[in-house]
Structure 1
Amino acid sequence: MGHSRSDVTFPAGDGTCAAWLYRPEGAVGPVPVLVMAHGLSGVKEMRLDAFAERFADAGYACLVFDYRHFGASSGEPRQLLDVDTQLVDWRAAIAHARTLPDVDPDRVVAWGTSFSGGHVIVLAAEDRRLAAAISQCPFTHGLASALTIPPLVSAKVTARALRDAVGALLGRPPVMVPACGAPGSTALMTAPDCEPGMSALVPPGLEVRSDVAARFVLQIIRRYPGRRAQDVACPILFAICEPDSVAPAKQTKRYAAQAPRGEVVLYDVGHFDIYVGEAFETNIAHHLDFLARHVPA
């Protein structure tokens, strides 16, 4: 079946989140809905539409949103990445999805990728009403991800983070750090595949900021969302890239094995490869198969 897409907003915290609402055409009765958001510094235009279109064509509604401070959503200063704020936005998005007309409030699926892949593990552990979750190339282990940054780069990034944190207390504008950069540059992700991989997600002609307020770096080492996998009662699919240069697969596989109803699909491709090309087609087929078995449209 085909689909339609409309622009919507919903309240979250002290502001609003902008979203796309996809609806399958010709669907009869209340349909399941996927709530979807991107990873570190990402916005919905960066290939989330490709996933949502395939889900909608298979009979699912999709609510694809930008976090506050990013994309089309409200929030100042811009590019302020805070884990707790993003979790508030996620909860607001799920609550909003449950109020949508012609949507089944008991068949909501949380879908996250990269940094938001960690978020959906936490959300699925705390919200027992979720019907299922999909966690794609997820951030699960703060120390493991921090150690992917070379020591010299890590020192430079941490120095910026401390300047930004102190400046925030004094009311100064944020000190920014690029989300990705060439190997050796001062950025959060500097593996050889990161810069070209991130660029491949941006549609031609669209200008997307890829920096974040540096204070976020001080949160990474304290976050271990994978630990909540053992508390996830619903079916959850882990799509794991084994040579992942950003979210190491070793720790994620260990956590995934602890999920009571967890399923694991392993890919021999990099962190950014499963968004595009042949790897995307293989990946989305696994997602649709998982949904058809656990939350059929």
Structure 2
Amino acid sequence: MTRTDVEFPSGDDRCAAWLYRPEGASPDAAVPVVVLAHGLGGVREMRLDAYAERFTAAGYACLVFDYRHFGASGGEPRQLLDVDRQLADWAAAVRYARRLDGVDSARVVLWGSSFSGGHVVEAAARDGRIAAVVSQCPFTDGLASALATPPVTTLKIAPTVVRDVAASILRRPPVLVPLAAPHRGAALMASDDALEGYRALRPDGMAVAESVAARVALQISRYFPGRSAKKLTCPALFCVCDHDTVAPARATLRHVEKAPRGEVMLYPYGHFDIYLGEAFETVVADQVAFLRRVVPV
């Protein structure tokens, strides 16, 4: 396979991306393309390359991008996580993917995980022409995730959220909140597996920002992308973790079981287990099998 650094416009800035093409692909044959982006505050280097390599080895092109304000993409201020802007980035990525040479514009697949697992449901429902969706350990219900957060954690981060909202009104630099902390710590994710699980995704030797503008906490609790599952017209695979401490499985199943062409696979893993080791091997094999069946090369 080959991997090329590319970029595409989104809003008033640009998104950096990797474009993977399968080895030996005929220039006369248009292949399906899988578009991937990460979850809450994540960047491409945090294991998305592992998924893209598997999909590309199976014959699919892949476009793996960073949201604006994160990673190698443009956008100021840095670490600003905004749901509407990220959904706009998904729409921009799909537009770019459809125009790529050697790609079948009618066979664009969206792949998301955690927070982006919810984004791909919403983005596909809005687009109406997506060929398939793969959503793993998806964030689908802001209320369920808020209730899963230890109350003491909510109290600890509340002053930071207020300060950041004030900073946004006064057009001052964002006030940041950690993405992950030990159990009951002051962070957006403070389950007993959050800090270790999040940091396990970082490449060795690479510094990755571990905080975001705190105002997003107000958006998270009001975001319900799972409600759009019933609007999906394409095949969708939902890989749900039984022991998910961030995106509770019960709420997720309630939403995704309404997808008209949805398939649900349950795994005995936690929210962060699914990216690594045996859990990764199991789940990515199921995802490749799903793609080969519903969007064959």
Question: Could you say which TM-score interval applies, normalised by the shorter chain?
Answer: over 0.9
Give yes or no for the alignment of 1:176 onto 2:176: yes
Q: Which residue number in structure 1 is paired with residue 47 of structure 2?
A: 47
Q: Which residue number in structure 2 is paired with residue 239 of structure 1?
A: 239
Of stretches 188-197 and 44-53 in structure 1, the one that deviates more from structure 2 is 188-197
Residues 144-223 of structure 1 correspond to what in structure 2 (within 5 A)?
144-223=144-223
Give the AA of the match of 1:21.
Answer: L
Structure 2 residue corresponding to 1:8, chosen from 6, 9, 18: 6
Deviation >6 Å, runs of 4+: none
**Would the aligned equivalents of 1:158 and 1:218 in 2 still touch at CA under 8 Å?**
no
Shift of 1:208: 0.3
Does the residue aligned with 2:245 lie in a helix, a strand or coil? Answer: coil
Does the residue aligned with 2:270 lie in a helix, a strand or coil? Answer: coil
CA distance in 1, matches of 2:129, 2:167: 41
Residues 1-297 of structure 1 correspond to what in structure 2 (within 5 A)?
3-28=1-26, 29-297=29-297
Residues 129-170 of structure 1: CA deviation (Å, up to 9, x unaligned): 110001110000001101121112102212211110111111
CA distance in 2, matches of 1:80, 1:155: 22
CA distance in 1, matches of 2:138, 2:192: 19
Residues 265-297 of structure 1: CA deviation (Å, up to 9, x unaligned): 101010011100000000001100100110011
CA distance in 2, matches of 1:277, 1:99: 35
**Would the aligned equivalents of 2:33 and 2:104 in 1 still touch at CA under 8 Å?**
yes
Residues 74-123 of structure 1: CA deviation (Å, up to 9, x unaligned): 01110000000000000000000000000000000010100000001111
**Would the aligned equivalents of 1:202 and 1:208 in 2 still touch at CA under 8 Å?**
yes
Shift of 1:127: 1.5
CA distance in 2, matches of 1:17, 1:179: 22
Residues 29-76 of structure 1: CA deviation (Å, up to 9, x unaligned): 000000000000000000000000000011000000000000000011
Does the residue aligned with 2:223 lie in a helix, a strand or coil? Answer: coil
**Would the aligned equivalents of 1:34 and 1:111 in 2 still touch at CA under 8 Å?**
yes
Residues 233-289 of structure 1: CA deviation (Å, up to 9, x unaligned): 100000000110000000111111100000011010100111000000000011001
Give the AA of the match of 1:242.
Answer: D
Give the AA of the match of 2:113.
Answer: T
TM-score by length of 1: 0.98
Give the AA of the match of 2:9.
Answer: P
CA distance in 1, matches of 2:2, 2:106: 22
CA distance in 2, matches of 1:169, 1:292: 48
**Would the aligned equivalents of 1:10 and 1:96 in 2 still touch at CA under 8 Å?**
yes
Does the residue aligned with 1:140 lie in a helix, a strand or coil? Answer: coil
Equivalent residues, number: 295
**Would the aligned equivalents of 1:145 and 1:247 in 2 still touch at CA under 8 Å?**
yes
Give the AA of the match of 1:114.
Answer: S
CA distance in 2, matches of 1:8, 1:126: 25
CA distance in 1, matches of 2:80, 2:256: 29
Residue segments in structure 2 that go unaligned for 5+ positions in a row: none
